[in-house]
């Protein structure tokens, strides 16, 4: 067993967490649970301009839905509270001040306008855009002058001009950067808020984070973080940079690729355990064959080192398949409970609410192996709830049979089953199967007519089971209606072609 790890998921409340982002939370959570450590949730709300209303609640709900419970963070608190960066400003300011004292940082008074100009000029000269370090070597006198004028400032890191900075990535090995290519990035903004570059280091340190697991887009700024740890005299945590999830066109997953935020998957009828399983398997493997794996086993076997190095394309078809597997593994009672809210939302208003749980539990086994998403329950079972079926009378005419023959078959079938002593699967089958033979029609034809009569559609759950759940009375009533519909069709036909 590895040492208990303190993992953190640190989203910024600038929108709804999407599928790629939440996967890092899942990996964080898994490794924390695997090692018996803690999963910390920290909100990085230092960019006041990009805050989005409701984003925090959405983040929390996404994690809850997926079962990633956090040991420390919003709502639960913890020994390192507060867990919102906007409430920890003094820590960053103190760190920045210490960095200045130690000669690792300096105040910069350049305006954003000047910086903008600078970048433009550099671009024109085809130079890489970077801060020209104008304020880095101001004399004390110059500094005092701007300071007295009350000029606003930011605090920048005093990047070493030479040498290199390396760090060990648990997945990729040693990664090295030349310090010379790194510019003097901003640590503290002029509004007094820290940038990510400072805040992440300060918080990870004080919160005792052992593993920084994040997207690979952070690799390039990791040397800045490492240098900051060193400047502060702090231990550098482990780093794990995981690859991104891409859309079908191989670009970073975004709204353009359809549904990307977690809760949308919930609303589309995916099971949280299926999404959880799929997401971990997308970019991580246990061995050469395991696909379906329970959350418990995942906790037991999860190994950070087996996370894939390469970015992966999100494949909805596979998720759909997996969701189907999980649906089939549910008990009838569980499925009924899961499906209930979708029926409530999807059934026409004419259907009285609430839907009977007992009735539902009898219906659900008939469609369990037929649905891949919970939303599909409505289309597949609404005829169990709707009283007046609406369908094209012509669909009552079996393939290869005339309307008259279909009418005769259905009438005969009605006669055979109406007086059955017992309204059960076996008695129904015992009555209807021989009838097909007597009538010299295929069972598919006979059963098809009945199916439409009783469900209003050509694609439906197995016939006998359906008849049983529907009950004798309703089944017979629907059959009667179908018989008269068929009669009307025949009459109409006669009227057209007759004398």
User: How near is the Cβ of 353 to RNA at its closest, in Å?
Assistant: 27
Active site annotation includes 16? no
Distances in whole angstroms, Cα of residue 412 to Cα of each of 211, 298, 468 = 73, 57, 19
Strands 245-246 and 312-313: parallel
User: How near is the Cβ of 251 to RNA at its closest, in Å?
Assistant: 5
User: How near is the Cβ of 4 to RNA at its closest, in Å?
Assistant: 23
Measured CA to CA, the distance from residue 489 to residue 497 in angstroms comes to 12
Q: Are 332 and 364 in contact (CB under 8 A)?
A: yes
User: How near is the Cβ of 446 to RNA at its closest, in Å?
Assistant: 8
Q: Are 84 and 74 in contact (CB under 8 A)?
A: yes
In the bound state with RNA, the residue whose beta carbon lies nearer, of 321 and 423, is: 321
In the bound state with RNA, the residue whose beta carbon lies nearer, of 336 and 460, is: 460
Buried b / exposed e across 1-21, counting CB within 10 Å, b at 16+?
eeeebbbbbbbbbebbbbbbb
Query: What region does 239 belong to: left with phi over 0, alpha with psi -120 to 50, or beta?
Result: beta
In the bound state with RNA, the residue whose beta carbon lies nearer, of 47 and 490, is: 47
Measured CA to CA, the distance from residue 11 to residue 41 in angstroms comes to 8
User: How near is the Cβ of 461 to RNA at its closest, in Å?
Assistant: 6
Extract the tokens encoding 303: 């190994």
Q: Annotated catalytic residue: which of 120, 145, 255, 399? A: 255
In the bound state with RNA, the residue whose beta carbon lies nearer, of 29 and 196, is: 196
Q: Are 220 and 128 in contact (CB under 8 A)?
A: no
In the bound state with RNA, the residue whose beta carbon lies nearer, of 160 and 490, is: 160
Q: Are 277 and 322 in contact (CB under 8 A)?
A: yes
Extract the tokens encoding 62: 């996404």
Residues marked as catalytic: 255
């Amino acid at each position: 067993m590895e040492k208990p790890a303190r993992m953190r998921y640190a989203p910024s409340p600038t929108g709804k967490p999407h599928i790629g982002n939440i996967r890092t939370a899942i990996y964080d959570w898994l490794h924390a649970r695997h090692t018996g450590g803690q999963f910390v949730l920290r909100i990085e709300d230092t960019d006041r301009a990009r805050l989005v209303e409701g984003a925090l609640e959405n983040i929390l709900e996404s994690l809850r839905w997926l079962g990633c419970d956090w040991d420390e963070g919003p709502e639960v608190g913890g020994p390192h509270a507060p867990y919102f960066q906007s409430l920890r400003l003094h820590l960053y300011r103190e760190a920045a001040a210490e960095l200045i004292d130690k000669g690792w940082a300096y105040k910069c008074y350049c305006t954003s306008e000047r910086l903008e100009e600078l970048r433009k000029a550099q671009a024109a000269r085809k130079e890489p855009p970077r801060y020209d370090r104008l304020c880095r070597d101001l004399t004390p006198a110059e500094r005092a002058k701007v300071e007295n004028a009350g000029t606003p400032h930011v605090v920048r890191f005093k990047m070493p001009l030479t040498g290199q900075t390396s760090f060990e990535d648990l997945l990729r090995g040693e990664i090295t950067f030349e310090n010379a290519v790194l510019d003097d990035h901003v640590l503290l903004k002029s509004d007094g808020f820290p940038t990510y570059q400072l805040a992440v280091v300060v918080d990870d340190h004080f919160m005792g984070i052992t593993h920084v697991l994040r997207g690979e887009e952070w690799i390039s700024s990791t040397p800045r973080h490492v240098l900051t740890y060193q400047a502060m005299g702090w231990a550098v945590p482990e780093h794990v940079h995981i690859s991104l999830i891409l859309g079908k066109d191989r670009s970073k997953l975004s709204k353009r690729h359809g549904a990307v935020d977690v809760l949308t998957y919930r609303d589309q009828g995916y099971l949280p355990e299926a999404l959880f399983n799929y997401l971990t398997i997308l970019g991580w493997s246990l061995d050469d064959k395991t696909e379906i794996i329970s959350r418990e086993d995942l906790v037991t076997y999860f190994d950070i080192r087996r996370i894939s190095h390469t970015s992966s394309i999100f494949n909805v078809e596979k998720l759909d398949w997996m969701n189907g597997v999980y649906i089939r593994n549910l008990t009838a009672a569980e499925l009924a409970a899961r499906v209930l809210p979708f029926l409530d939302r999807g059934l026409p208003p004419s259907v009285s609410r609430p839907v009977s749980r007992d009735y539902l539990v009898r219906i659900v086994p008939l469609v369990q192996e037929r649905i891949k998403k919970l939303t599909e329950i409505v289309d597949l079972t609404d005829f169990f709830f709707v009283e007046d079926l609406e369908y094209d009378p012509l669909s009552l005419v079996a393939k290869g049979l005339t309307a008259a023959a279909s009418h005769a078959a259905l009438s005969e079938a009605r006669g055979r089953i109406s007086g059955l002593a017992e309204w059960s699967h076996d008695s129904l089958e015992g009555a209807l199967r021989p009838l097909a033979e007597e009538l010299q029609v295929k069972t598919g034809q006979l059963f098809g007519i009945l199916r439409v009569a009783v469900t209003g559609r050509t694609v439906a759950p197995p016939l006998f089971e359906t008849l049983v759940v529907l009950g004798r009375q309703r089944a017979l009533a629907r059959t009667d209606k179908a018989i008269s519909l068929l009669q009307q069709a025949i009459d109409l036909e006669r009227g057209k072609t007759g004398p």
